[in-house]
């Protein structure tokens, strides 16, 4: 490849990847699969390493995280990032309305949720993201540009080549927070307390690569500085931000007066627990920008806005028990069991206590009256002992509750771990993990059925799954011959899974689905991975020493070698299937619509990608084929209007079996 060809390809890849990010984060479309995006980004990274002089300032490779910083430089803001005055009652909201009424007339409001995250300032020059900073004290913040580049919903290049400074709130979604906390607890690490702390801690990491792993997001809500035309109201400013490529606040409601605004505060309070992100209140703003300028600001707050804070919902209840569970990695996790209480729209009767240190900190005793709340409106937690009524402080067990072996505390962590590889609880949790959707995806083998198999001695480790017989399954209560055949069919299909699924399914400490995919692509076969050294694993982008050591340690165990040999004997695939080159769908875009009966959508998409094609969520002139199931709706109508080829599942099977 000549230098000219390299530059052209780098430009093509940058433009394509930035467009895909815009479609995904702003328009909620998925023009390419995650795997295809990762492969294109990998190609771009390789070219930039060979030709660094052609690296563009808006290159999506900048999002993977650069070198660690020792300090964050101070940033002085041209326009102050103001904080909002808090209101904790409707009386205080009425006071705010009276103050506005004293200065302007004929005003109206908008009400929007107040995202609970970390406020940041983003600067763009000629449409390129050049600097980002924390809010700090409003006048001076800290430069966290490299970390912010890892937030994929922050555009590195705007859709207009302008100079502009905007303000947004970086947050961690509830789903990501729960996923990270679960993995922290499995690894015996101290979990984040709530999504806001997780977002703030992630953004202020010295190493941007860690920030990149935390899957943060942003909502942009204000134009701080722009020399173009002035905006008339709240809607016009948000519309302009959307045009530029920003993800703006998820919703806002125009209100003609303060009574409507208070009704909207009530509505947001009622739905807050169902939102996919955490909020710490709602904001009332004067809608008209000229009236905002007239109202101005005090030394601390703008006079045209107020933040209403919802009171934290806490309930007292009686602690009845502390149960100890053993995870698939051997970590012992205590869970509080208490009388049921209604919190944030759902009934809860259990709360994780994380580890022994937390129990000691609370000085818990069975029978105590404890105060419970939901951390970030998500995870139930015990806040304090409100009435001491228990007789004896709880003592953490010295032996594993599952196998009876002594437990040890990991050095430098709060985790107690059972190190017995034959521990029944660990074996069962690993079986459940192995069959789960993100791992080997064996349909029909859910937690309850696997527990029955395990208790009856039908399976002891994951290799036993492939030795199950139809007659043994069919005789179980609630199952029959048809169910047994379906389960065996799903087990047989799992043998054809990609190597990345198998690596994740093996339950290696510190190795998630994404890391498993990287290992699969890098080494190609499980045989090569088994021989890998820590140093060779560290060559993979995004792998740290702890992850590499976990992989090497896992494959050095005799028990692992025995298990893998059994899986080989049972015909489980141990190669990276993405290396199989059949590109019959290369350059083709499929859209799936309607209810598919012979495939799940994930299965159909995987087949399309395996043969070099891609899937999209919307029909356009660029669509090659629409795969239509039962009750297909608007996408089918649009395909017919555009004259795009439509096929059913039988025709799809003919295409892939040719």
The residues that are catalytic are 114
What Rg do the C-alpha atoms of the chain give, in angstroms? 28
Cβ–Cβ < 8 Å for 132, 122: yes
CA gap 369, 386 in Å, rounded: 6
CA gap 331, 437 in Å, rounded: 23
Extract the runs of DSSP E, i.e. beta strands, from 468-599: 589-593
Parallel, antiparallel, or unpaired for β 625-628 and 645-647?
parallel
Which distant-in-sequence residues (6+ apart) come within 8 Å of 639 by Cβ?
591, 619, 623, 626, 628, 646
Minimal CA–CA distance to 462: which of 411, 486, 412, 497?
Answer: 497
Cβ–Cβ < 8 Å for 177, 215: no
Minimal CA–CA distance to 165: which of 195, 199, 127?
Answer: 127
- In sequence order, what are the beta bridge partners of 318? 369
Give Cα separations from 297 to 85, 263, 644 (angstroms).
11, 26, 57
Token readout for 546 is: 């702890």
Strand order in the sheet with 645-647: 614-616, 589-593, 625-628, 645-647
Cβ–Cβ < 8 Å for 370, 338: yes
Long-range contact set of residues 375-379: C-beta below 8 Å, sequence gap at least 24: 375/193, 375/194, 376/116, 376/174, 376/177, 376/194, 376/195, 376/196, 376/278, 377/174, 377/272, 377/273, 377/278, 377/344, 378/174, 378/177, 378/178, 378/194, 378/195, 378/278, 379/178, 379/181, 379/351, 379/352
Q: What is the DSSP string of 440-463?
A: T--TT--HHHHHHHHHTTS-SSGG
Parallel, antiparallel, or unpaired for β 140-142 and 74-76?
antiparallel
Element (DSSP H or E) covering residue 41: helix 34-50
CA gap 321, 166 in Å, rounded: 50
CA gap 563, 555 in Å, rounded: 10
Extract the runs of DSSP E, i.e. beta strands, from 21-117: 74-76, 86-87, 109-115
CA atoms within 13 A on the CB side of 596: 21
**Strand, helix or coil for residue 584:** coil
Neighbours of 85 (CB within 10 A): 16
């Amino acid at each position: 490849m000549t230098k000219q060809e390299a530059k052209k390809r780098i430009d093509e890849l940058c433009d394509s990847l930035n467009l895909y990010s815009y479609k995904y984060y702003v328009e909620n479309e998925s023009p390419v699969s995650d795997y295809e995006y990762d492969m294109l980004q990998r190609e771009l990274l390789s070219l930039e390493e060979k030709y660094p002089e052609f690296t563009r300032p808006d290159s999506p490779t900048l999002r993977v995280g650069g070198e660690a910083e020792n300090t964050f430089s101070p940033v002085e803001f041209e326009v102050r990032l103001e904080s909002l005055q808090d209101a904790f009652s409707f009386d205080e909201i009425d006071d705010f309305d009276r103050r506005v009424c004293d200065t302007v007339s004929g005003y109206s409001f908008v009400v929007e949720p107040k995202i609970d995250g970390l406020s940041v300032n983003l600067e763009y020059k000629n449409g390129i993201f050049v600097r980002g900073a924390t809010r700090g004290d409003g006048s001076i913040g800290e430069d966290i540009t490299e970390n912010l580049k890892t937030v994929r919903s922050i555009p590195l290049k705007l859709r207009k080549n302008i100079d502009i400074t905007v303000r947004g709130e970086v947050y961690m979604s509830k789903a990501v927070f729960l996923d990270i906390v679960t993995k922290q607890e499995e690894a015996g690490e101290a979990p984040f307390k709530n999504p806001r702390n997780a977002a703030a801690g992630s953004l202020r990491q010295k190493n941007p690569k860690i920030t990149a792993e935390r899957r943060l997001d942003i909502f942009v809500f204000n134009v701080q500085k722009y020399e173009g035309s002035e905006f008339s109201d709240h809607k016009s400013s948000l519309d302009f931000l959307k045009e530029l490529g920003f993800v703006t606040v998820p919703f806002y409601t125009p209100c003609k007066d303060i009574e409507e605004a208070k009704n909207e505060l009530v509505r947001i309070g009622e739905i807050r627990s169902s939102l996919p992100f955490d909020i710490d209140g709602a904001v009332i703003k004067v809608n008209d920008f000229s009236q905002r300028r007239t109202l101005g600001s005090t030394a601390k707050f703008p006079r045209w806005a107020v933040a209403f804070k919802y009171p934290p919902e806490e309930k007292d209840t009686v602690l009845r028990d502390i149960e100890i569970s053993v995870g698939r990695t051997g970590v012992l996790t205590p869970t509080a069991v208490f009388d049921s209480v209604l919190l944030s729209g759902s009934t809860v009767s259990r709360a994780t206590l994380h580890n022994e240190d937390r129990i000691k900190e609370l000085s818990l005793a069975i029978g105590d009256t404890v105060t419970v709340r939901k951390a970030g409106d998500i995870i139930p937690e015990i806040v304090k002992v409100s009435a001491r009524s228990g007789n004896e402080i709880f003592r953490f067990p010295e032996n594993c509750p599952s196998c009876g072996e002594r437990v040890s505390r990991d050095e430098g962590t709060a985790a107690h771990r059972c190190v017995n590889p034959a521990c029944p609880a660990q074996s069962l949790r690993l079986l459940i993990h192995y069959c789960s959707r993100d791992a080997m995806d064996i349909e029909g083998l859910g937690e309850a059925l696997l527990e029955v198999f395990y208790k009856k001695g039908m399976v002891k480790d994951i290799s036993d799954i492939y030795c199950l017989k139809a007659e043994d399954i069919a005789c179980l209560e609630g199952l029959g011959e048809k169910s047994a055949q379906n389960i065996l069919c799903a087990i047989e299909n799992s043998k054809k899974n990609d190597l990345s699924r198998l690596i994740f399914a093996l339950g290696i400490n510190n190795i998630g689905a994404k890391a498993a995919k990287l290992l699969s692509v890098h080494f190609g076969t499980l045989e090569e991975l088994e021989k890998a050294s820590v140093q060779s694993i560290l060559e993979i982008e995004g792998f740290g020493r702890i992850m590499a050591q976990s992989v090497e340690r896992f494959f050095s165990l005799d028990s692992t070698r025995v298990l893998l040999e059994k899986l080989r004997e049972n015909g489980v695939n141990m190669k990276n299937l993405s290396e199989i080159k059949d590109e019959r769908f290369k350059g083709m875009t499929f859209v799936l619509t309607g209810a598919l009966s012979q495939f799940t959508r994930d299965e159909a998409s995987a087949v399309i990608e395996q043969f070099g094609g891609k899937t999209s969520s919307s029909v356009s002139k660029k669509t090659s084929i629409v795969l239509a199931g039962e009750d297909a709706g608007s996408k089918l109508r649009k395909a017919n209007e555009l004259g795009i080829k439509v096929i059913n599942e039988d025709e799809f099977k003919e295409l892939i079996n040719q």
